[in-house]
Structure 1
Amino acid sequence: MSKIVIAFWSQTGNTESMANAIGEGVVSEGKKVEVLNISEISPEDLNDVQAFALGCPAMGVDELEECEMEPFVEKVEKISSGKTIALFGSYGWGEGQWMRDWEDRMTAAGAKVLDGEGLICQEMPDESVLEECRNLGKQLALI
């Protein structure tokens, strides 16, 4: 049985809630899942993983968190060619530009972004967003 990794960074818990719901979707399809804070995983742990999810809220001026997540993503870009990646996160302002930029980066690195776009929500995910997250997990599990 293959394993799906969901790695995230969360400041307020909103992106963590999304990560856990994605994990529920993976499990519902009979796959093993590891839902890990970015501090619990290294990019090298994703070398042999064909499909995984990365989550981060928008920070600053519509960007990834710069101390932990940005350096992690920079390293993942180097190993992501041919892999399927689901991107997700929450935001409090703006229109989701950080996610569009992130999608472009991962696509340029040779990854296939699941559904062609990341899953975003404004502020705390409600039940409808959590259901979207579970569905994303199901799709990821079918890779």
Structure 2
Amino acid sequence: MSISVVYWSGTGNTQAMAEAIGEGIEENGAQAKVMSVDQASVDALAGEDVFALGCSAMGAEELEESEMEPFVAELEGKVSGKKILLFGSYGWGDGEWMRSWCDRMKAAGAELVEEEGVIANETPGSAELNACKAAGAKLAGI
């Protein structure tokens, strides 16, 4: 089984989280395809039953608007019944962007692997990276 981990990262924090999720997937017997959103295809991802999406908080706690938001908007109508992990980092606020994103994907019919997503304030430390690996392990076990 191959599981896609698609992310947008401005500073490398969300990329580090994506790579840790990929490690968790592979350590638990599945293949991980970790890629930035500009390398991903909505149609290909829509054909998968299980995947992860990551984006750091931008502006007033929202998804990055030039690449990730259009990707998510196009994918949104195709996530019903999918098992999805959402993740990302933030530098200010309290994680509102992740709560909004989780609510949005649940409203579109997705089943979230982690109900509140996996988030890290600034650079993910060992606790956050371990949470990412554990979430990757959950994806591999589905």
Please give the range of the TM-score, normalised by the shorter of the 2 chains.
Answer: over 0.9
* CA–CA distance in structure 2, aligned partners of residues 130 and 115 of structure 1: 15
1:130 aligns with 2:129: yes
Q: List aligned pairs for 1:29-44, cutoff 5 A.
A: 29-44=28-43
Q: Which runs of 5+ in 1 are unaligned?
A: none
State the AA in 2 paired with 1:49: E
What amino acid maps onto 1:52 in structure 2?
F
Deviates more, 1:108-117 or 1:31-40: 108-117
Share of identical aligned residues, percent?
A: 51
Number of residue pairs aligned between Structure 1 and Structure 2 = 142
The letter for the 1-side match of 2:130 is E
Give the Cα–Cα distance (whole angstroms) in 1 for the partners of residues 15 and 53 of structure 2. Answer: 11
**TM-score calculated relative to the size of structure 1:** 0.98
Task: Tell me which residue corresponds to 2:103.
Answer: 104
2:54 matched residue in structure 1: 55
- SS of residue in 2 equivalent to 1:95: coil
Runs (4 or more) in structure 1 with deviation over 3 Å come to: none
Corresponding residue number in structure 1 for 2:18: 19
The AA in structure 2 aligned to 1:94 is G
Q: How far off its partner does 1:115 sit?
A: 2.4
Given the alignment of the two structures, is residue 121 of structure 1 paired with residue 142 of structure 2, yes or no? no
Post-superposition offset of 1:76 = 1.1
The equivalent residue for 1:91 is 90
Q: Find the residue that maps to 2:56 and give its secondary structure.
A: coil
Q: What secondary structure sits across from 1:116 in the alignment?
A: coil
8 Å contact kept, 2:86–2:114:
no
Query: Structure 2: which 5+ runs fail to align?
Result: none
Measure, in 2, the Cα distance between the counterparts of 1:10 and 1:54.
Answer: 11
Amino acid at match of 1:78: G
Deviation at 1:47, TM superposition (A): 2.3
> How much has 1:109 moved relative to structure 2?
0.4
2:8 is equivalent to residue 4 of structure 1: no
1:59 counterpart letter in structure 2: M
SS at match of 2:114: helix
